[in-house]
Amino acid sequence: MKIKFFTTGGTIDKVYFDAKSEFEVGPPQVREVLQEANVVFDYEIESILRKDSLDLTDDDRQLIRQRVEAEPCSRVVVTHGTDTMVQTGQALAGIADKTIVLTGSMQPARFRVTDAVFNIGSAIGAVQSLPPGVYIAMNGRIFAPGRVRKNREKNCFEEVAAG
Amino acid sequence: MKIKFFTTGGTIDKVYFDAKSEFEVGPPQVREVLQEANVVFDYEIESILRKDSLDLTDDDRQLIRQRVEAEPCSRVVVTHGTDTMVQTGQALAGIADKTIVLTGSMQPARFRVTDAVFNIGSAIGAVQSLPPGVYIAMNGRIFAPGRVRKNREKNCFEEVAAG
Amino acid sequence: MKIKFFTTGGTIDKVYFDAKSEFEVGPPQVREVLQEANVVFDYEIESILRKDSLDLTDDDRQLIRQRVEAEPCSRVVVTHGTDTMVQTGQALAGIADKTIVLTGSMQPARFRVTDAVFNIGSAIGAVQSLPPGVYIAMNGRIFAPGRVRKNREKNCFEEVAAG
Amino acid sequence: MKIKFFTTGGTIDKVYFDAKSEFEVGPPQVREVLQEANVVFDYEIESILRKDSLDLTDDDRQLIRQRVEAEPCSRVVVTHGTDTMVQTGQALAGIADKTIVLTGSMQPARFRVTDAVFNIGSAIGAVQSLPPGVYIAMNGRIFAPGRVRKNREKNCFEEVAAG
């Protein structure tokens, strides 16, 4: 079994550069997560972008869509900032024959207390279990992009009526 | 959505009691994992046993089966030692209308470097995505209990021919 | 034995506020470090400032000096940003009858991989072992403020000729 | 500045061997602690023994004493199990011209929540600050071996009348 990982940035990949006193998106953190988890499936990690998801443009979303469409592997996980994950999920609608799961985290993977590892795990459990389509894996649930939103006050994802 | 967690012991729940110089199965670690992951589904955690899985007897496995059968919830995750997880998975065969996923870890959840959090995440992603049946979630893959074994030399789970 | 902790901000106390997509100085992290270390001495923690040390003014340094001077306890640890720790150390020169140790960290205490815990430990080992005076505890060494500088390229503190 | 580390075993160095279902003393954990702390002093790590300190014999203690006496470096840190750390501290009495600090931890260095990093930090802060002699660094305090004991009920070290 093979899974392709595309990374786009977001909180999950934020690291601290002391020299610059800056906290910025760094290299894909999913790599270390997979190594520590000692996964036994084949995988490839491709970094498409390194942006806060609030800074993603429609062109960026089209770029992500093109890369996913062009990818031969039928199981795709996309790590992404949480703020506009739903929007990107919707931009990936209708891609044939692929199970695509988007995930990210509220606390960076580099933190001692983080949701990153759990979320990546849940996306991986889901991507090999679900039929083709696009899904969001956050806060332990698997959502359809048309029926979920990020609740900023409660700082979590929740189901909404289809729309 | 609701998930029922049954815990049976195993490495995942091992904690260190300095006063006794003993490293033993302690209370269910899945509780803290779910809290840190900030999950948004309902859940219940029930500790059936606190044993190394090498010490589980057929009576223990029947007890586990009875509890799972009696559980009204249709989504069940069982945390378990890795040594005889497959055996217990096979003992749960044929329970109707339930998606049952067994998982555990090679390194205790209390360790700084552990597969526990990722594995629990993968089990949770799978349990809400799969049709009724019994599955093993280890090393990032979802296996059928009849087609997997723990490879002790490589310290991981791997697929085998059906048997 | 009693130790007074004054916190002023810096990388050591930086936390991530996902709702604001901001990484800022938060509450004193030394509190959790002391709890996890299970320390058996009495202590008090007082937050004087919550600033990046590059933003500290001379007035800020005078405020820190005043608080240290007014403190009855003879053993004082000051957590501080690393960029201008030496400058603040020099501003504390000549305070009588107190052993004062400044420390901080290059990676926030909230990170999984951090120097914060080690550094706080080293400051505490030093503050009860040294005669009255001002010291800097970074990278495992105890320095005199007049003979140390932060080497930004190597991202560590190093001894320099007196000056 | 140079520090010599001698390791003798104890909880601090316990690691989990899943293949054997065994939790045993492994290689010196102080190495990783020093690397993560990014220390700038020279050091050498020598493993003398890998035992639970309850299993140390008088011959073992004499061996430790011989190694410390033969060591040219004047600053020595010994990592050791907590149960008989005081006894070994007393066995090192009277070694000339060396500052010797013993430390260890109640929770293994490999655990997510541990006192190991803090304790090693405190020992290092103390060893370069104290005059020649033997000291115990535990729970954030620096003790003289003749005036401390491990309180097993409270699971911490505490001062006692000289004896």
Classify burial at C83, counting beta carbons within 10 Å of its beta carbon; exposed 0-12, middle 13-18, buried 19 or more: buried
Amino acid at A122: S
pLDDT, tens digit, 9 for 90 and up, residues A55-81: 999 999 999 999 999 999 999 999 999
Among B37, B114, B158, select the one facing A115 at the smallest CB separation.
B37
D105 CB neighbours in chain C (<8 A) are: none
Amino acid at B17: F
Q: How many whole angstroms from its chain centre is CA C155?
A: 17
Q: How many whole angstroms from its chain centre is CA C158?
A: 16
Say yes or no to pLDDT of B162 above 80: no
More confident residue, C155 or B127: B127
Res C20: pLDDT: 76
C112 CB neighbours in chain A (<8 A) are: 110-112, 114
Residues of A with CB under 8 A from a CB of C: 11, 14, 16, 18-19, 21, 23, 52, 54, 82-83, 106-108, 110-114, 152, 155
Q: Which residues of chain D have a pLDDT value below 70?
A: 162-163
The DSSP H or E segment spanning D68 is helix D58-70
Residue D151 pairs in a beta bridge with D156
Among C1, C41, C124, select the one facing D125 at the smallest CB separation.
C124
The answer for C135, left when phi > 0, alpha when psi is -120 to 50, beta otherwise, is: beta
Q: Is the ipTM of this complex over 0.90?
A: yes
Q: pLDDT category, A162, cuts 50, 70, 90?
A: low
B30-37 helix and B116-127 helix, angle to the nearest 10 degrees: 70
**How far is CA A6 from each of CA A30, A47, A148, B115, D109, rounded to the nearest angstrom?**
10, 6, 21, 22, 34
- List the chains bordering chain C where 3 or more Cβ pairs fall under 8 Å: A, D
C134 CB neighbours in chain D (<8 A) are: none
Residue C99 pairs in a beta bridge with C75, C133
B155 CB neighbours in chain A (<8 A) are: 38
Structure tokens at A91: 């931009």
Say yes or no to pLDDT of A163 above 60: no
D123 CB neighbours in chain C (<8 A) are: 125
Instruction: Determine the residue of chain A that is closest to B117 in CA distance.
Output: A118
Instruction: Determine the residue of chain B that is closest to A155 in CA distance.
Output: B38
Res B18: pLDDT: 74
- Torsion angles phi and psi, residue C9, rounded to 5: 115, -145
CA distance D96 to chain B (A): 34
Among A21, A110, A155, select the one facing C112 at the smallest CB separation.
A110
Q: pLDDT category, A161, cuts 50, 70, 90?
A: confident
Smallest CA-to-CA distance from B33 within B49, B50, B12, B51 is with: B12
Contact yes or no for A111 and C52 at CB 8 A: no
Contact yes or no for D110 and B106 at CB 8 A: no
Residue pair A4/A43 in contact (Cβ under 8 Å)? The answer is: yes
DSSP string for C80-130? --STTHHHHHHHTTT-TT-EEEEE--SS-TTBSS-SHHHHHHHHHHHHTTS
List the pLDDT tens digit at each of the 163 positions of chain C.
999 999 999 999 999 887 777 889 999 999 999 999 999 999 999 999 999 999 999 999 999 999 999 999 999 999 999 999 999 999 999 999 999 999 999 999 999 999 999 999 999 999 999 999 999 999 999 999 999 999 988 989 999 976 5
Res B136: pLDDT: 98
Residue pair B38/B78 in contact (Cβ under 8 Å)? The answer is: no
Res D162: pLDDT: 66
Res C162: pLDDT: 66
Smallest CA-to-CA distance from D37 within B95, B150, C122 is with: C122
Residue pair B91/B78 in contact (Cβ under 8 Å)? The answer is: no
B52 CB neighbours in chain D (<8 A) are: 21
Which percentage of chain B shows pLDDT scores above 70?
Answer: 99
pLDDT, tens digit, 9 for 90 and up, residues B54-110: 999 999 999 999 999 999 999 999 999 999 999 999 999 999 999 999 999 999 999
Taking only Cα atoms into account, the Rg of chain B, rounded to an integer number of angstroms, comes to: 15
pLDDT, tens digit, 9 for 90 and up, residues D37-66: 999 999 999 999 999 999 999 999 999 999
